[in-house]
C-alpha cells in the first residue's frame, strides 16, 4: 500500500494534477483519492479480487481500455518488463497535453523507473514519500517512441517452450514449466474422468495436460484471477485437439466456485499475496475445492514442501495422503470431501 499512500498524498498536495478531463487509473486499487474524480474516472484492473473491490465501491472497471485520457494514474506491478510496458501503454492512451503519474515502491525500482521515464519524456517532476516515489510527465513534446515500442515488445504475449505455449512476463513461471506443476502431471492418473476443474490455471499448463492425457474427461473448467493469464490459457487450450471445449472463468477462487460441482480438481495454488508469503491462500483454495467437489470427488494438488497443507486436507477429505515428495515439492491427494464441506456447498446454493 505504500505506493498508493504516496500517490494519495501527492494528489492532495498537488491539486492541479487531474483537475479536469477524463482520468484513467491503471492497475487501480480502491482509495480515498478516487472520489475527487467522480464521474470522469475509469479503472483498469485485470486482477479479479481488486476488480471486485473497485466495483463494490461503485467505480467503473474495465480489463482493456480504449480512448484517450487527460490524466493517467499508474500503480505498476513488480515485474520490470511489465512496469515499462505499462508506461508505454499509458503513453498511447494519453491525450496530447495530458499527464502520466506513476507511483512505485522504492524496493520495486522506483528511482530507476523515474530516470527511464525522464529519458523518454524529456522531463519529469517527482516526490519521495512513504518509501515510494511518485513522478509525472506531460505529453507536451515528442517522447522517444522507439524506446516505448521496445518496452511494449518486451512484455508482449509470445510463444514459449519451442512455440508450444503462449505466455508473457509477469505470469507465474511465465517462460518455463515450473517444477511443481510438472511433478503433479507425472502423478495424475490418465484414468481421471467426469467433470474437471483447474484452480488458478495461469497460462494453462495443467489444463493442457488434462486435455491431452485424460481421455475420459467430459468437461474442464479453468479458474484464474489474472485476466492476462486467462487470455494465454484461452490461446493455449484452443490449440489442443480434443472433444472438450474448456470453459474459462475470470474468478477469485478464494471466494468459492459458486454452484459448480466437479468429479476432479487439480491445482498448484498460489502462496504469495503481492510480495508477502501467505499460506492462507492455499488453505482457501483447498476449502473451495472441497466444497466444489461431488461426494465421491478427488483433489490433486502440488505445493512447496514446507507449506502446511496436510491438516487442511485431512479435515476436508475422508481420505488424504502425500503421494510424493521430490525436488522441494509435494503432491497431495484428497478423496471424498467430508459431509461438512458438502453442507457448506448446499447452504451456499440456498
- Sorting pLDDT into bands at 50, 70 and 90, what band is 325? very high
How much of the chain exceeds pLDDT 70, in percent? 95
Contact 257, 288 (CB under 8 A): yes
**Residue 78: predicted pLDDT:** 84
| Residues 69 and 94: beta-carbon distance below 8 Å | yes
What pLDDT, on a 0 to 100 scale, did the predictor assign at position 32?
Answer: 82
* Residue with the three cell numbers 503433479: 184
Q: How many CB atoms lie within 10 A of CB 130?
A: 20
For the 2-154 domain, the top CATH level (class) is: alpha beta
Report pLDDT for 270. 87
Of 214, 218, 210, 196, the closest CA to residue 292 belongs to 196
Distance (Å, rounded) from C-alpha 321 to C-alpha 255? 26
Question: Cα separations (Å) of 145 from 64, 91, 253?
Answer: 22, 9, 40
Residue 303 φ/ψ region, left for φ over 0, alpha for ψ in the -120 to 50 degree band, beta for the rest: beta
What does the pLDDT look like over 64-89, one tens digit per residue?
999 999 999 999 988 889 999 999 99
Q: What is the DSSP string of 30-50?
A: --GGGGGGTTSEEEE--BHHH
With respect to CATH, is domain 158-349 assigned 3.40.50.300? no
pLDDT of residue 1: 63
Q: Which residue has the cell 523518454?
A: 120
Distance CA 200, CA 224 (A): 5
Q: Is the pLDDT of residue 275 over 50?
A: no
Is the separation of the CB atoms in 78 and 108 below 8 Å?
Answer: yes
CB under 8 Å to 143, separation ≥6 — which residues? 91, 120, 121, 122
pLDDT at 348 over 80: no
Contact 161, 176 (CB under 8 A): yes
Cell of 47: 486482477
Helix, strand and coil content of the chain, in percent to the nearest 5, comes to 35, 30, 35
Contact status, residue 269 vs residue 289, Cβ threshold 8 Å: no
| Cα 62 to Cα 20, 41, 87, 211, 276, distances in angstroms | 21, 11, 18, 31, 27
When pLDDT is averaged across residues 226-240 and rounded to a whole number, the result is 96
Q: CATH 3.40.50.150 occupies which residues in the chain?
A: 2-154, 158-349
Above 70 in pLDDT, residue 344? Answer: no
Residue 105 has pLDDT above 60, yes or no: yes
Amino acid at each position: 500500500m505504500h505506493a498508493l499512500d504516496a500517490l494519495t498524498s501527492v494528489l492532495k498536495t498537488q491539486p492541479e494534477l487531474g483537475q479536469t478531463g477524463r482520468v484513467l487509473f491503471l492497475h487501480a486499487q480502491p482509495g480515498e483519492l478516487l472520489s475527487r474524480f467522480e464521474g470522469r474516472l475509469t479503472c483498469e484492473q485485470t486482477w479479479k479480487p481488486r476488480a471486485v473491490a473497485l466495483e463494490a465501491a461503485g467505480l467503473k472497471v474495465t480489463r482493456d481500455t480504449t480512448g484517450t485520457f487527460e490524466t493517467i494514474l499508474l500503480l505498476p506491478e513488480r515485474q520490470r518488463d511489465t512496469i515499462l510496458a505499462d508506461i508505454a501503454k499509458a503513453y498511447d492512451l494519453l491525450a496530447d497535453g495530458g499527464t502520466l503519474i506513476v507511483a512505485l515502491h522504492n524496493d520495486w525500482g522506483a528511482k530507476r523507473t523515474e530516470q527511464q521515464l525522464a529519458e523518454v519524456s524529456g522531463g519529469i517532476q517527482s516526490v519521495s514519500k512513504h518509501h515510494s516515489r511518485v513522478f509525472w510527465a506531460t505529453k507536451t513534446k515528442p517522447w522517444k517512441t522507439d524506446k516505448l515500442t521496445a518496452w511494449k515488445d518486451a512484455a508482449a504475449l509470445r510463444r514459449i517452450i519451442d512455440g508450444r505455449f503462449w505466455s508473457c512476463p509477469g505470469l507465474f513461471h511465465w517462460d518455463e514449466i515450473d517444477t511443481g506443476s510438472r511433478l503433479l502431471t507425472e502423478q495424475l492418473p490418465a484414468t481421471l474422468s467426469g467433470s474437471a476443474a483447474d484452480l488458478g490455471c495461469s497460462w494453462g499448463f495443467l489444463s493442457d495436460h488434462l486435455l491431452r492425457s485424460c481421455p475420459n474427461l467430459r468437461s474442464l473448467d479453468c479458474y484464474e484471477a489474472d485476466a492476462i493469464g486467462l487470455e494465454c490459457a484461452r490461446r493455449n487450450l484452443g490449440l489442443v485437439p480434443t472433444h472438450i471445449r474448456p470453459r474459462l472463468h475470470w474468478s477469485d477462487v478464494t471466494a468459492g466456485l459458486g454452484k459448480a460441482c466437479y468429479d476432479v480438481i487439480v491445482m498448484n495454488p498460489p502462496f504469495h499475496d503481492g510480495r508477502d508469503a501467505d499460506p492462507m491462500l492455499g488453505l482457501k483454495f483447498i476449502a473451495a475445492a472441497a466444497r466444489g467437489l461431488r461426494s465421491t470427488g478427488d483433489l490433486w494438488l502440488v505445493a512447496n514442501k514446507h507449506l502446511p497443507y496436510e491438516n487442511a486436507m485431512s479435515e476436508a477429505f475422508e481420505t488424504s495422503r502425500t503421494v510424493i515428495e521430490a525436488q522441494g515439492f509435494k503432491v497431495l491427494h484428497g478423496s471424498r470431501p467430508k459431509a461438512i464441506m458438502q453442507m457448506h456447498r448446499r447452504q451456499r446454493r440456498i
